[in-house]
Every structure is written in structure tokens, then in C-alpha cells.
């Protein structure tokens, strides 16, 4: 009797015997040449992201593809907490510097101040707070704040941001008759506490997202949303330009820290970046990869606001971040920054692609502040 195993062996043997032609020396058949992909870049990209041409990854990189804008899990309906948070975001009376969060994170300027350094002091450029909800654990250019409460406390108490004192602010707000009813509506009692102030500000901050872009429409299958040049730029961003190695995922950041040189701040001092947080020599001069949504709307660039335009950013990256003027490196340049040999047409295509990451400016009415 023949069992199943025996039958399989027999079949395999027979198949092998009939398909195997005898190979003699010098007669090894050449492999079929790879079929040449004659499709245009547009055709290659008019498909689901998973079917796009393979990106050029540096070895050791966690490969994370680009993706469309996800829904913000913190976009709350217009609750009373959100309303209070918005009022506090525009409130200038919390600190001795007459700054509100909105002085630096101005909604009309895509939640930045458009200045090289934060207005009112400091040595760093004000980042947008759009999509800050995905930065948990990585807040600030060096990622030093792990939680929103920590980050907002620093914003309020820093002598160069608002110079307020969260032990005194509850009392200051309780002296303004319009405030206790807002806390009552939001939290069920009119007591004003540090925790409630931080919570309301966090709820408001996390509700802020960037909007839909031409890139998102393209990814969702509206292939007319990008021009040929913009698609060429997308391709270069993922391949020859190597940008995707650090700027990836739905927000175009790996949430990692890299050294791109250009560490000198406006006073002429070196910014230590991530080193201040970890104390590791290897982290000197490293900064968090910023997201790139609405990047065309948030000049100037770099943690120190040293680079004025996107053309300059791309040109410097293309040349491997050479130092011009008084700029210097602190620590060691990322091994992933090297000359790219992009032609000027290719650089313009990358710029055109970056412009497709812009959404409409959100129209935000300033709230009437309690009196």
C-alpha cells in the first residue's frame, strides 16, 4: 500500500524527471533580462502607496512610508473645556511678559510667529503647533518635554516666553469676574486650579491640526491633484534626495534626532540640542526632525531660524550642509547627510513637491477675553 508521503515523493520524482533537461558544461541558460519599466513617473505613482517604486533607504533605517493625514483623535466637539482652553490660549495676563500662547503661535501664521527667534526672547525658532498631538514624548526641538503638561508649564513659566507662575495664576484669574463661570461650565465647579488651567490648554492645543493637502488627495486616488513636476519631486524626495529616510510617515518626521550642523544661535553660541536632555556626547547638536506639513508657510527654518527659504534648505542639503558665514557644527554631522548631486531642475521639483503639503490657513476668531 502506498501512503500519502510516498505518493508525494513519487509525484515529485516524476515531475523532476520530466522537467529536468540535462545540463552540460557551458550550456547554463542565461537568466531572462529584467523587463524594462517604460512607464512614466506619473504612471508609476498613480497607484496605491504600496505599489510605488521602492524608496532609497540608508541601511539601518526603520522604513516608514509617507502616508495621508490621519484623523486627529483629539479633535473634540466644541465643548466647554475646549472653549476655556481657547480663551486661555489668547490670555496675555498670566505672565509678566505680555505674551499669550497666540502671540508666538499665531493662527494666521500657521501657528508660528514668522520670526527668526521667538518674539520676546529665546534663541529658538517658534515651531507650529499644528498636529502637536502626534509629538507626545518629543515636544520641543530637542524633545525635552515628555508630556503636554510639562511643555505647557515651561511655556507659561519660562522667563523668556510668558514669565508666569502657576502658583499665582489661579489667583490672578479668579480676580477677573469673567473667569470663574468659565471654569464652572467646563469642570462643574468654579475653582481655578493649576491642573485645570493646564488641562484646558492641552485640550485646545491638541485639537489643532493641519488640513487636507493636494498630496493627501493624490494618495487617496485623485491622481490629477499633482502636476508631473510635483510627482517628479515626490519621487526624488523618496529616492535620489534621500529625504524620506528622516521625513517619513503621515507627518513627514521619524521623530528621531539628527545632527545637520548649523548649530550657532543668533548670539553666536552653540546649541547643544538633544545632549541637554540625555547628556550623551553622541547627542550633541542633534535636533528632532521637524514635520513638513505646511512647511511652505512657516519660514524661516531650522531650530535657530537661520535659513530663510526652502530653496536655501534644499540647496544646502544638496551640498551636504557646508558651512557658510558664521555657522558651525556642534558634535558630528549625521552620516546620512552627504552631497546629493541633484540638478537645479531636480531641486525645483522637490520644492514643488514640498508646496503640495500645504493646506488652507484655518480661520480662527480671537475670543473675547473675560473682564
Which residues contribute to the annotated binding site for heme c?
Answer: 101, 104-105, 243, 246-247
The residue written with cell numbers 504600496 in the block is 50
The string of DSSP codes covering 179-234 is HHHHHHHHHSS----HHHHHHHHHHHHHT------HHHHHHTT-TTSS-HHHHHHH
Q: Which stretch binds ligand HEC (CB under 6 A): 31-39, 115-123, 173-181, 222-230?
A: 115-123
> From the CA atom positions of the chain, what is the Rg in Å?
27
- Candidates 135, 182, 200, 352; binder of ligand HEC (CB under 6 A) is 135
Q: Which of 43, 276 has the CB closer to ligand HEC?
A: 276
**What's the rounded Cα separation, in Å, for the pair 226 and 133?**
28
Q: Are 319 and 339 in contact (CB under 8 A)?
A: yes
Q: Which of 10, 108 has the CB closer to ligand HEC?
A: 108
**What's the rounded Cα separation, in Å, for the pair 161 and 94?**
11
Give residues 157-216 in contact with ligand HEC (rule: CB under 6 A).
161-162, 201, 205
- For 80, half-sphere exposure in the C-beta direction (CA atoms, 13 angstrom radius) is 13
- Candidates 241, 250, 321, 358; binder of ligand HEC (CB under 6 A) is 241
Q: Is 275 in the site for ligand HEC (CB under 6 A)?
A: no
Q: Is 141 in the site for ligand HEC (CB under 6 A)?
A: yes
Q: Is 218 in the site for ligand HEC (CB under 6 A)?
A: no
Cell of 161: 516666553
Residue 277 Cα distances to 34, 93, 231, 265, angstroms: 50, 31, 39, 18
Q: Which of 221, 339 has the CB closer to ligand HEC?
A: 339
Q: Is 152 in the site for ligand HEC (CB under 6 A)?
A: yes
Q: Is 313 in the site for ligand HEC (CB under 6 A)?
A: yes
Q: Is 317 in the site for ligand HEC (CB under 6 A)?
A: yes
Rama region for 357: left / alpha / beta (φ>0; ψ in -120 to 50; rest): alpha
Residues binding ligand HEC: what is the number (CB under 6 A)? 52
Q: What's phi and psi for 345, nearest 5 deg?
A: -65, -40
Q: Which of 127, 216 has the CB closer to ligand HEC?
A: 127
Q: Is 129 in the site for ligand HEC (CB under 6 A)?
A: yes
For the CB of residue 240, give the shortest distance to ligand HEC in the complex, in Å: 9
Find the helix or strand (DSSP H, E) in which 258 lies: strand 257-258
For the CB of residue 204, give the shortest distance to ligand HEC in the complex, in Å: 8
Q: Is 242 in the site for ligand HEC (CB under 6 A)?
A: yes
Residue 302 Cα distances to 120, 124, 141, 317, angstroms: 18, 9, 9, 12
Q: Can you list the pairs that 152-159 forms with residues at least 24 positions away whose Cβ atoms lie under 8 Å?
A: 152/198, 152/201, 152/202, 152/205, 153/198, 155/101, 156/94, 156/95, 157/95, 158/122, 159/121
Other beta carbons within 10 Å of 6 = 10
Q: Which stretch binds ligand HEC (CB under 6 A): 1-9, 24-32, 178-186, 332-340?
A: 332-340
Q: Is 127 in the site for ligand HEC (CB under 6 A)?
A: yes
For the CB of residue 323, give the shortest distance to ligand HEC in the complex, in Å: 13
Cell of 198: 493646564
Q: Which of 28, 128 has the CB closer to ligand HEC?
A: 128
For the CB of residue 173, give the shortest distance to ligand HEC in the complex, in Å: 13
x/- contact string, 90-109, with ligand HEC (CB under 6 A)? ---------x-x-xxx----
Give residues 51-90 in contact with ligand HEC (rule: CB under 6 A).
none
Total count of residues recorded for the chain: 371
The binding site for ligand HEC (CB under 6 A) comprises 99, 101, 103-105, 118-120, 122, 124, 126-127, 129, 132, 135, 139-141, 151-152, 155-156, 161-162, 201, 205, 241-243, 245-247, 258, 260, 262, 287, 289-290, 292, 295, 298, 301-303, 310, 313-314, 317, 334, 336-337, 350
Amino acid at each position: 500500500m502506498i501512503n500519502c508521503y510516498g505518493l508525494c515523493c513519487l509525484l515529485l520524482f516524476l515531475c523532476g524527471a520530466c522537467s529536468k533537461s540535462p545540463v552540460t558544461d557551458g550550456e547554463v541558460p542565461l537568466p531572462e533580462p529584467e523587463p524594462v519599466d517604460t512607464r512614466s513617473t506619473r504612471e508609476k505613482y498613480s497607484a496605491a502607496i504600496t505599489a510605488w517604486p521602492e524608496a532609497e533607504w540608508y541601511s539601518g533605517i526603520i522604513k516608514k512610508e509617507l502616508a495621508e493625514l490621519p484623523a486627529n483623535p483629539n479633535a473634540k466637539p466644541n465643548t466647554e473645556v475646549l472653549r476655556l482652553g481657547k480663551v486661555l490660549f489668547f490670555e496675555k495676563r498670566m505672565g509678566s511678559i505680555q505674551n499669550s500662547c497666540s502671540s508666538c503661535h499665531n493662527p494666521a501664521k500657521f501657528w508660528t510667529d514668522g520670526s527668526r527667534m521667538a518674539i520676546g526672547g529665546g534663541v529658538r525658532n517658534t515651531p507650529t503647533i499644528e498636529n502637536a498631538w502626534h509629538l507626545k514624548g518629543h515636544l520641543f526641538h530637542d524633545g525635552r518635554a515628555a508630556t503636554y503638561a510639562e511643555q505647557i508649564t515651561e511655556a507659561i513659566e519660562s522667563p523668556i516666553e510668558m514669565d508666569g507662575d502657576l502658583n499665582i495664576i489661579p489667583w490672578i484669574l479668579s480676580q477677573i469676574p469673567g473667569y470663574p463661570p468659565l471654569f464652572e461650565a467646563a469642570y462643574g465647579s468654579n475653582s481655578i486650579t493649576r491642573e485645570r488651567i493646564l488641562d484646558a490648554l492641552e485640550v485646545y492645543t491638541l485639537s489643532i491640526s493641519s488640513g487636507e493637502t493636494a498630496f493627501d488627495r493624490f494618495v487617496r486616488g485623485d491622481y490629477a491633484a499633482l502636476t508631473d513636476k510635483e510627482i517628479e519631486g515626490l519621487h526624488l524626495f523618496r529616492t535620489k534626495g534621500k529625504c524620506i529616510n528622516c521625513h517619513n510617515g503621515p507627518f513627514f518626521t521619524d521623530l528621531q534626532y539628527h545632527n545637520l550642523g548649523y548649530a550657532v544661535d543668533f548670539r553666536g553660541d552653540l546649541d547643544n540640542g538633544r545632549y541637554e536632555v540625555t547628556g550623551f556626547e553622541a547627542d550633541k547638536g542633534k535636533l528632532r526632525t521637524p514635520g513638513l506639513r505646511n512647511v511652505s508657510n512657516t519660514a524661516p527654518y531650522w531650530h535657530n531660524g537661520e535659513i530663510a527659504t526652502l530653496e536655501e534648505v534644499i540647496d544646502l542639503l544638496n551640498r551636504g550642509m557646508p558651512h557658510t558665514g558664521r555657522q558651525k557644527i556642534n558634535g558630528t554631522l549625521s552620516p546620512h547627510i552627504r552631497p546629493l548631486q541633484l540638478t537645479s531642475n531636480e531641486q525645483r521639483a522637490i520644492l514643488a513637491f514640498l508646496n503640495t503639503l500645504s493646506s488652507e490657513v484655518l480661520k480662527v476668531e480671537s475670543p473675547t477675553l473675560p473682564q
